[in-house]
Amino acid sequence: MYGVTGSISGLLGSFRVAEVAMRYSEFVPRFYNLAKSLGFEAGKIMPSRAFCSDESQGYPIILIAKHFGAFPFNHGQVGGIVSNERHAPHAHHGQDLVIIHASHVGYDPESGNYGIYRRVQTTEQEFSLSCGKICGTLAWYSQEYRFARENIFLLKEKDGLRIVIDNQLLHRERPEGLILKLDKLIESGPGGELQPLRSLSTSKVFRVAPSLCEKPGLALPATAEPQAMGERLTPDLFFFRKDSSDRMDKNLIDAMPLIVTSKWPALTAAQVNTQVEFDRAFRSILREPEYEGKKLLFISGLHVDISPRSGQLFPLTKFIPWAACHLHEDGGHETWEQQELHERIKSQPLDNPDQVNLEQAIQLMKEAQEIRLPA
């Protein structure tokens, strides 16, 4: 994906959330006006959405149809993956083109937790995971991390600190699992070997690496009573290996040490997926011959689906813009990073004189003379 953990951490650190969040009812008209300010012609714009299939994504789709005057083309797969192979058909459906991509994450304002969403159509309006695809992908990695943090121990003996590591975690060549960076945990011998002080039934005992002892803020044990590694197992001490062809696995695996150790893993994972998918789709758009000679505006962001309360049918969805690409008719393009993109959207008026009255449009279709199909 982005190479090394440090670069991923830096990229995530630049992803602002609360400061740039906006109601979807404000985002869509402003984004429509932004497209018009770039020369997109009213009534000739074909929007496309690349969203998850979750029912919580229906409200954004309704607003897109209302303000763009067309039901959006479908560019999305479950989890907020962009179907790059749909670029060509999308190009054939309009004069000017817009793609809105977003990963999504549920949010419960009562508990303050990301990753859950109230399903109002269930028997008792229960909460469930959201996004289900992202959270389902996280489950395996979270379990691996939980096992590691509970089966690595630190203790203090007379001549120094010791680390006790489960035998399975010592096998660095495993094809799948959480792989420890043992050189950062264990003190190596003169020849670089990691020699245990003693072997136990299911684990081995080593001297602790000096670099681990020197980590700022690390609470080290002061007694011989073993203490589970717990939160001391920070992202720089491990990585994951998994044999998977699933796109979500591919998108998230490099960032998984940061994701599983974050305060809100579902939110962090959705951020990463948004970033990876923008990067991937952006390059495919520039290579798509069917987009040549077209005006196109591609935006990627994050949907925060705030669980509906009593009496609400839809979530109070907020949009967090991440990046956008404006493709010109002459083949040139420009990319807007988060701050510039946010400022461009916010500078646009909320009023959209071109918006469609959906109820009226539906009523007109209902009252139209019936057309009978041939037998």
How high is the pLDDT of residue 217? 79
How high is the pLDDT of residue 310? 77
- In the chain (375 residues long), the average pLDDT of successive 10-residue segments reads 54 85 97 98 98 95 97 96 97 97 96 93 90 96 98 92 96 95 92 89 95 86 90 96 97 97 97 97 97 97 92 91 97 96 98 94 92 92
How high is the pLDDT of residue 284? 97
Distance between CA atoms of residues 277 and 80, nearest Å: 8
Q: Dump pLDDT digits (tens) for 132-144.
A: 999 999 999 999 9
Output the CA–CA distances (angstroms, integers) from residue 144 to 90, 172, 203, 239, in the order listed: 41, 14, 17, 11
How high is the pLDDT of residue 198? 93
**In the chain, where are the structural domains located?**
21-115+264-281+292-353, 141-247
As a whole number of Å, the end-to-end CA separation of the chain is 54
Distance between CA atoms of residues 154 and 169, nearest Å: 15
Q: Which two tokens stand for residue 225?
A: 């009573």
Whole-model pTM: value is 0.92
Tokens 């590691």 belong to which residue?
A: 148
How high is the pLDDT of residue 6? 54
How high is the pLDDT of residue 223? 83
Tell me how crowded residue 240 is: count the other CB atoms within 10 A of its CB.
21
Strand 96-108 to strand 295-306: parallel, antiparallel, or no bridges (unpaired)? parallel
What percent helix, strand, coil does the chain show, rounded to 5?
A: 40, 25, 35
The residues that bridge with 107 in the sheet, in sequence order, are 114, 306
Residues ≥6 apart with Cβ < 8 Å to 237: 180, 181, 184, 185, 212
How high is the pLDDT of residue 11? 64
Distance between CA atoms of residues 68 and 34, nearest Å: 12
